[in-house]
C-alpha cells in the first residue's frame, strides 16, 4: 500500500514482537461467559483465520480487539496501546485497526466516495482532495473504481463489501479485522470479496479473519485458531489443523463439514 | 343569513397581527422545544439513573396533562412559585415550549433508535470522533426518518396555539374573536379564521404524508 510513511513508526514489519497480543481475556454477558481466558498474539504481516461453531466466541473475540466489546479481565495490547483503556486509547487503536463487518454497515445516506473519505478527513485530518484521491485509488484496487458516485443501496452485496474494505483501508491501518465478511453474500459474490482479501494478503497486510470458508482459510492463513465454548482450543498452521487434529472438539467440528 | 365580507376586510390588519403572533409563538416554541427535546431525548437514551428518571417524568407529565391545563398552570400558578410577573405571551411561550419539548423528545428518540446500531459501530471502528459520528452518521438518517412525524407535530403545535387566546395572548384566534365580539359577526370571523388555519396546516400535512410515503418506499414496507 502506498502512503506507508504515514503509518506511525510502530509498524513493525518483519519484527518478532507481536502487533496484537491478548492476555487471558474474559468476557461475559450476564452470567454467560463468552470468552473464558483467551491468550494469543499476532505478528505484523501474519494472516490469522478464526473458525469454529456459532456461539463459540469467535466474533466476540474479534470485536474485543478494537474495543467494540469491552472485557471483564485480562488485557489486549495493540501496537503498544493497551486495553482496557480510556476513550483516547480506544480511538487511537481503532484508527490503527480496520474492521469489516458481516453486514457491511456502509453509511446508506452517503455516496461510496463519502463513505470512504469520512474517516480520513475527520479522524486523520486529510484534506478533501487527498481523501478523494485515496478513495479512488482504493476503489481501483478492489475493482470498483466506476462506482464511486453511487449509493450503497445501488450496489450488489459483493460490491458493498468491497467498498467496506476500501473504507477500512482508507485509514491506512496496521491490521484488518474481518468479521465473517462473506456470510451475508450470495454464493456468486463470495469470490470477488475473497479475491480482494487475497490481494491484501499478498501486500503483507496483517489480518484476522473470522470465517466459515474452510478452503479459503486453509489457502490464505498462516495460522488457524479454533474457538469453541469460549476457549481457544487449537492454534495451528493449516497443515496440522486440517491434517490430523488431535483436539476432540475440532475433530467433531471438521467432521460435520462437507 | 347574510355573510358580510366588509367585516372581514376591515379586520384584515388585526387578523394579520394575530397571524404573525401565532407564527412567532409557534416558531419560537419549536426552537426552544427542540433544545428541551434534545436534552430530554439524550438523557433518556444515554443518561444515568437520575437523568433518565427526570427526563421520563418531564416527558410523561407534558404528554398526559391537557395543553389547556398546562397553559393555565404556567399563566396563573408558575408566577406565584417563582414570585415574578410574567406577561401572557411569555407564559404562552413557556407553556408551548414545554409541551413541544416533551413531544419532540419522543420523536427524536424514535428517529435515533431507528438508525441501525451497525452504523454507529462502523463509525466507532473507524475511529471517527464522537461529534462527527453524530453529525455525519446518526443525525442525517434519523432526521429523514423523523421528517413525517416532525411535520405532523408542527401541525399539532399550530392548532394548540389557538388555545393561547384563553390567556389573552393576541394570536390569530384571539384577534378574530375580539372582532367578532365587537361586531357580533361571529359567522364571518370564526369562519375566516378556520380557513386561515386550514391554509396554513393543510400543505404541512400534505408534505408529511408525501414524506411518509417516500420513506416507506425507501425502507421497503
Report the CATH number that the domain containing residue A221 is assigned in CATH. 3.40.50.300
CATH of domain B5-219: 1.10.3720.10
- CB-CB: which of A92, A109, A123 is closest to B126? A123
pLDDT at residue B3, as a whole number: 80
| Chain A with chain B: Cβ pairs closer than 8 A | 66
- Calculate helix-pair angle for B88-113, B49-64, nearest 10 degrees: 120
Rounded to a whole number of angstroms, the distance from the CA of B7 to the nearest CA of chain A is 53
This model of the complex carries an ipTM of 0.88
* pLDDT confidence band for B219 (50 / 70 / 90): low
Does residue A62 sit within a domain?
yes
Q: How many domains does chain A have?
A: 1
pLDDT tens column, A134-191: 999 999 999 999 999 999 999 999 999 999 999 999 999 999 999 999 999 999 999 9
Contacting residues of B for A171, CB less than 8 Å apart: 126-127
Does residue A196 sit within a domain?
yes
d(CA A206, CA A13): 9
- CB-CB: which of A98, A110, A122 is closest to B129? A122
* pLDDT confidence band for B214 (50 / 70 / 90): confident
pLDDT at residue A198, as a whole number: 95
Contacting residues of A for B119, CB less than 8 Å apart: 105, 107-108
Would you give the distance in Å from CA A153 to the centre of its chain?
23
- CB-CB: which of B118, B128, B132 is closest to A105? B118
pLDDT tens column, A98-117: 999 999 999 999 999 999 99
Rounded to a whole number of angstroms, the distance from the CA of B122 to the nearest CA of chain A is 6
Rounded to a whole number of angstroms, the distance from the CA of B117 to the nearest CA of chain A is 9
Inter-chain residue contact A105 with B141, CB threshold 8 Å: no
d(CA B39, CA B52): 11
Inter-chain residue contact A94 with B127, CB threshold 8 Å: yes
Residues A9-36 have a mean pLDDT of: 80
Q: Cα–Cα distances in Å, from A212 out to A50, A113, A183, A206?
A: 9, 30, 8, 19
User: Which of A123, A131, A184 is the best mutation test for B, with the most CBs of B within 10 A?
Assistant: A123
Predicted confidence (pLDDT) at residue B71 exceeds the cutoff of 50 = yes
Instruction: Identify the DSSP state of A142.
Output: T
pLDDT tens column, A106-148: 999 999 999 999 999 999 999 999 999 999 999 999 999 999 9
Q: Which of residues 69-98 of A touch B (CB under 8 A)?
A: 91-95, 98
pLDDT tens column, A1-17: 444 444 444 444 455 67
pLDDT tens column, B7-55: 888 889 999 999 999 999 999 999 999 999 999 999 999 999 999 999 9
Domain residue ranges in chain B = 5-219
- With CA atoms as reference, the chain A residue closest to B123 would be A119
pLDDT at residue A258, as a whole number: 62
Inter-chain residue contact A118 with B136, CB threshold 8 Å: yes
pLDDT at residue A206, as a whole number: 96
pLDDT at residue A15, as a whole number: 55
Residues A36-60 have a mean pLDDT of: 94
Rounded to a whole number of angstroms, the distance from the CA of A147 to the nearest CA of chain B is 20
Q: What is the mean pLDDT of chain A?
A: 91
pLDDT tens column, B86-138: 999 999 999 999 999 999 999 999 999 999 999 999 999 999 999 999 999 99
pLDDT at residue A3, as a whole number: 40
pLDDT at residue A10, as a whole number: 41
Predicted confidence (pLDDT) at residue B6 exceeds the cutoff of 60 = yes
Q: What is the mean pLDDT of chain B?
A: 93
Q: What is the pTM of this model?
A: 0.84
Does residue A8 sit within a domain?
no
d(CA B125, CA A188): 28
The least confident of A95-104, B1-10, B68-77 is: B1-10
Inter-chain residue contact B126 with A167, CB threshold 8 Å: yes
Q: Which of residues 33-72 of A touch B (CB under 8 A)?
A: 66, 68
Does residue A230 sit within a domain?
yes
Taking the alpha carbons of B76, B79, B85, B86 in that order, is the dihedral positive or negative? Answer: negative
Q: Report percent pLDDT > 70 for chain B.
A: 98
pLDDT at residue B89, as a whole number: 94
Predicted confidence (pLDDT) at residue A209 exceeds the cutoff of 90 = yes
Does residue A100 sit within a domain?
yes
What cell numbers appear for A56 in the block? 463459540
Residues A9-37 have a mean pLDDT of: 81
Rounded to a whole number of angstroms, the distance from the CA of B118 to the nearest CA of chain A is 5
Contacting residues of B for A109, CB less than 8 Å apart: 140-141, 144
Inter-chain residue contact B128 with A167, CB threshold 8 Å: no
Residue A77 belongs to domain spanning:
17-256
| A118 contacts B132 by C-beta, under 8 angstroms | yes
Contacting residues of A for B129, CB less than 8 Å apart: 91, 122-123
* pLDDT confidence band for B220 (50 / 70 / 90): low
| A156 contacts A189 by C-beta, under 8 angstroms | yes
Does residue A34 sit within a domain?
yes
Kindly state whether A128 is in contact with chain B, defined as any CB-CB distance less than 8 angstroms: no
Amino acid at each position: 500500500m502506498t502512503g506507508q510513511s504515514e503509518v506511525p513508526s510502530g509498524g513493525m514489519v518483519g519484527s518478532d514482537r507481536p502487533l496484537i497480543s491478548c492476555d487471558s481475556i474474559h468476557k461475559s454477558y450476564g452470567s454467560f461467559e463468552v470468552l473464558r481466558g483467551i491468550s494469543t498474539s499476532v505478528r505484523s504481516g501474519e494472516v490469522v483465520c478464526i473458525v469454529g461453531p456459532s456461539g463459540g466466541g469467535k466474533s466476540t473475540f474479534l470485536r474485543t480487539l478494537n474495543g467494540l466489546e469491552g472485557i471483564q479481565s485480562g488485557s489486549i495490547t495493540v501496537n503498544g496501546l493497551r486495553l482496557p483503556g480510556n476513550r483516547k486509547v480506544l480511538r487511537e487503536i481503532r484508527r490503527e485497526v480496520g474492521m469489516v463487518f458481516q453486514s457491511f454497515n456502509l453509511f446508506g445516506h452517503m455516496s461510496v466516495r463519502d463513505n470512504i473519505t469520512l474517516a480520513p478527513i475527520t479522524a486523520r485530518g486529510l484534506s478533501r482532495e487527498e481523501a478523494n484521491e485515496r478513495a479512488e485509488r482504493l476503489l481501483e484496487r478492489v475493482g470498483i473504481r466506476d462506482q464511486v458516485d453511487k449509493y450503497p443501496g445501488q450496489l450488489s452485496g459483493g460490491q458493498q463489501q468491497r467498498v467496506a474494505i476500501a473504507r477500512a483501508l482508507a485509514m491506512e491501518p496496521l491490521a484488518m479485522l474481518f468479521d465473517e465478511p462473506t456470510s451475508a453474500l450470495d454464493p456468486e459474490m463470495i469470490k470477488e470479496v475473497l479475491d480482494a482479501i487475497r490481494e491484501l494478503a499478498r501486500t503483507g497486510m496483517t489480518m484476522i479473519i473470522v470465517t466459515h470458508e474452510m478452503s479459503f482459510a486453509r489457502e490464505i492463513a498462516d495460522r488457524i485458531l479454533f474457538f469453541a465454548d469460549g476457549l481457544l482450543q487449537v492454534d495451528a498452521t493449516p497443515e496440522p489443523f486440517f491434517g490430523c487434529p488431535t483436539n476432540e472438539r475440532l475433530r467433531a467440528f471438521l467432521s460435520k463439514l462437507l | 343569513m347574510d355573510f358580510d365580507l366588509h367585516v372581514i376586510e376591515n379586520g384584515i390588519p388585526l387578523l394579520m397581527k394575530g397571524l404573525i403572533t401565532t407564527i412567532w409563538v409557534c416558531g419560537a416554541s419549536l426552537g426552544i422545544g427542540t433544545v428541551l427535546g434534545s436534552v430530554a431525548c439524550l438523557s433518556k437514551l444515554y443518561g444515568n439513573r437520575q437523568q433518565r428518571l427526570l427526563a421520563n417524568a418531564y416527558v410523561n407529565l407534558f404528554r398526559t396533562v391537557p395543553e389547556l391545563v398546562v397553559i393555565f398552570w404556567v399563566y396563573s400558578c408558575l408566577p406565584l412559585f417563582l414570585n415574578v410577573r410574567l406577561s401572557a405571551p411569555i407564559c404562552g411561550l413557556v407553556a408551548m415550549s414545554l409541551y413541544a419539548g416533551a413531544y419532540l423528545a419522543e420523536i427524536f428518540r424514535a428517529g435515533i433508535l431507528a438508525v441501525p446500531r451497525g452504523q454507529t459501530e462502523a463509525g466507532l471502528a473507524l475511529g471517527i470522533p464522537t461529534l462527527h459520528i453524530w453529525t455525519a452518521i446518526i443525525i442525517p438518517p434519523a432526521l429523514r426518518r423523523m421528517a413525517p412525524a416532525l411535520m405532523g407535530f408542527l401541525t399539532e403545535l399550530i392548532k394548540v396555539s389557538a388555545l393561547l387566546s384563553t390567556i389573552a395572548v393576541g394570536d390569530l384566534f384571539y384577534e378574530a374573536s375580539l372582532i367578532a365580539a365587537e361586531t357580533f359577526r361571529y359567522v364571518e370571523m370564526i369562519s375566516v379564521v378556520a380557513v386561515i388555519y386550514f391554509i396554513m396546516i393543510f400543505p404541512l400535512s400534505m408534505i408529511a404524508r408525501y414524506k411518509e410515503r417516500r420513506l416507506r418506499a425507501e425502507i421497503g414496507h
